[in-house]
A and B are shown apart, each in its own frame.
Chain A
Amino acid sequence: MSTTTELPPGVQFQTDANRTTADEPRRAAVRKALGNYSTARGKTEKTFSSWQHAREAASEVKFEAVNHLDRYLREFEEKFTARGGKVFWASNGAQAREYILDLAREKGVKSIVKSKAMTGEEIHLNPALEKEGYEVIESDLGELIQQLMKEPPYHFVFPCMHLKREEIGELFQRELGSEPTTNPEELTMIARRFLRRHFANADMGISGGNFIVAETGMISITENEGNARLTAGLPKIHVALVGIEKVVPKLKDLALLLPMLATAGTGQHLTGYNTMYGGPRMPGENDGPEEFHVVLLDNHRTRLLADAEQRDALHCIRCGACLNVCPIFKNIGGHAYGTTYQGPIGSVITPHFRGLQDWKHLSGASSLCGACTEACPVKIDIHHHLLQNRRNAVAEKKVWWERLIWAGYVWLMKRRWAYLIAVRLAPLGQAIHPLVLGTELDPVRAWTATRDFPEAAPKSFHDWWRDRKAVRK
């Protein structure tokens, strides 16, 4: 199910969405998985004294952090550096990749183990490292499966939720030479054994980061499997690649945000491991990496920051809740988006990261139902931002044929005689419509491809009203 990436984004989206919506069995599987998510999440939400107030508080924390981003990043840098960590500020993907590559060269690294990092996907880190001859292994089970499948994650929290166990069994048999099985537990143990070897040998561990703690100079990583703990615990160098917007002011803010992330993300009270890393191995400690580098990634986040109206999109804690409740995501699936960040939040932020005109179609692919906004644990106004993207795209670059249609519409609606002629002509037009139905000449082809066109009434409302009055008299 690879995406057709060589096409322009808008065309790729339409092509892939058409294909994936036709794949009914896979849609059913995704719907079932997301149904289970909804049940679990609902149950955990109910244990809160007030989930709505907790959302407001979480939104306040992120508002404070994002609206004083420079102050808190400076504070983080100062605290983290004082504890022996190294901070690198990267304007873009190329700089971040180059820094990590330089580090690997300088330290004579041979083997790299990675835990889940969407920032890594964002800047295409693995291909860059592999091109230079480094072996890079994804250690999160879902990410490993996607790496072996040679396709990007389907969902930024559940990377391989679209695959069936049979497909994963075949994949492991083919790529890892394992015995045939479709048992999820056996499959997980195959991956465990395979990865343990890599953890023992890797000399660099690369992770992402869920939160940057300014007050104490720490990176907080949330996971369920323990692979990030091994990534940050065993190799002699740990690199965390983190977006600048991930900052929170205080360590204790995590006492709110960690349960919120778990509840909204997976319906857990707390995810399996929530770990705060505050530097490399300290004097007196018996293990841990000799070096800990944090790469702070901008990569156009400051462009989104400059849009005050949509700045709250940087509050996102990447829980994936907006994807899980989105009717569009449920039907087209994660790959059709063609983005690192799928679903509603991806549709909001990708135009800022990669160009509004190329990615505005994502903001159009929404019914504006607002389920995403309701689900968001930090209260990002997601569906209004989709609307704003549409407005901004048109304001920036007018579409000639849309303007023409609207001009014609205005002209028609302002002239009663023209309108009445149009109404009379409608049944005639409909009578000849079957001759062009579905062809290039069909003006409503996009509609009739999947739906019936409503029939014009035999009598217009005007006529009906006049006749009715005549009868009464």
Chain B
Amino acid sequence: MKGDRELILGRIAEALRVPAPRHHESHGNAAAGASVAFREWLPPVGEEKQDQVGLFARLSETLRTEFRECATAEEAASQIATLAQDGNWKCIALHSGKLIDAVAAKLPSTVTLLNVDQGYEKNALEACDAGFTECESLVAQTGSVCITNPSSGGRALSVLPPHHIVVATRAQMAPDLSAAYDRLAEKYPNGYPSFISFITGPSRTGDIERILVLGAHGPKRLTVLLLP
């Protein structure tokens, strides 16, 4: 089916022949094609890594993200083992990665691990008790976790199981969204992955009387484990 590409572009060009008035003063950074500067107006984030980790921890509390600093991969593994024991977990879905491999090697053998690297059965993934992923970066300013398909085992691993566990290192803590985007641009100079997502807290809804309920469609719980 043929669309109206030329007609629509024609109507746009015709409409834009009359310039729009500016309803308020320009700050001079709106030259055609130029980026607008805005970073300094957003909520302030400390320069030091420690400030950023502190801000991320505070926001996590409000967002109900379970944020834990772990000294070693063993400690991260024991955190997950406790969650697994408390929740009587049978299966954790995960992908391969340097951090995940180090932690997964130390998990108790009572939980089955489902690796999604080569694809997965939708129902099998849904039946898992948790999805365990790495991430691209953590964002201090908003308390977010930035994931992509290559860094985090695809689109579904972090949203289908009821508990999402993220493992990251302190070096991955970015001050704000701009910095997180810069890191992506640096890491993928030849084209971005098809999926980039900023996850901010567990899945939530306020649709019924504006009362907060966690786990609307995605994970009811989000755990972020931060390694040195």
Contact = CB atoms under 8 A, between A and B. Distances in A.
A277 B195 CA distance: 5
B191 A83 contact: yes
B186 interface: no
Q: In the complex, which range does the number of interface residues on chain B fall in?
A: 35 or more
Interface in B106-161: 116-120, 122-123, 126, 141-144, 149-150, 153-156, 159-160
Interface residues of A, number: 114
Contacts of B176: 255
Interface stretch (A20-28, A53-61, A357-365, A422-430): A53-61
Contacts of B208: 141, 145, 160, 163, 165, 168, 184, 187-188
Interface in A242-280: 244, 249-256, 258-259, 266, 268-280
B15 A302 contact: yes
A73 interface: yes
Contacts of B48: none
A286 interface: yes
Contacts, number: 316
A142 B216 CA distance: 11
A440 interface: no
B38 A225 contact: no
Interface stretch (A88-96, A119-127, A399-407, A453-461): A88-96
Interface string B24-50: 101101101111111111111000000
A134 interface: no
Contact of A255 (B12, B29, B181, B206): B181
Given A88-B1, A253-B36, A254-B177, A141 B207 contact: yes
Given A285-B193, A311-B20, A230 B9 contact: no
Main secondary structure of the interface of B (DSSP, over half): loop
B86 interface: no
Contact of B217 (A53, A56, A184, A195): A195
Interface stretch (B73-81, B97-105, B196-204): B196-204
B36 A57 contact: yes
A379 B205 contact: no
Given A67-B20, A286-B149, A312-B23, A281 B204 contact: no
Interface in A146-164: 158-161, 163-164
A312 B194 contact: no
Contacts of B9: 70, 73-74, 89
A33 B207 CA distance: 11
Contacts of B19: 67, 308
B153 A142 contact: no
Interface of B: 1, 3-5, 7-9, 11-16, 18-24, 26-27, 29-30, 32-44, 59, 95, 116-120, 122-123, 126, 141-144, 149-150, 153-156, 159-160, 176-178, 180-182, 185, 191-211, 213, 215-219
22 contacts: A33-B210, A48-B43, A53-B41, A60-B26, A91-B7, A95-B4, A140-B207, A158-B206, A158-B210, A160-B207, A200-B123, A224-B203, A255-B177, A272-B199, A272-B203, A272-B218, A274-B144, A286-B119, A286-B149, A288-B149, A288-B194, A298-B4
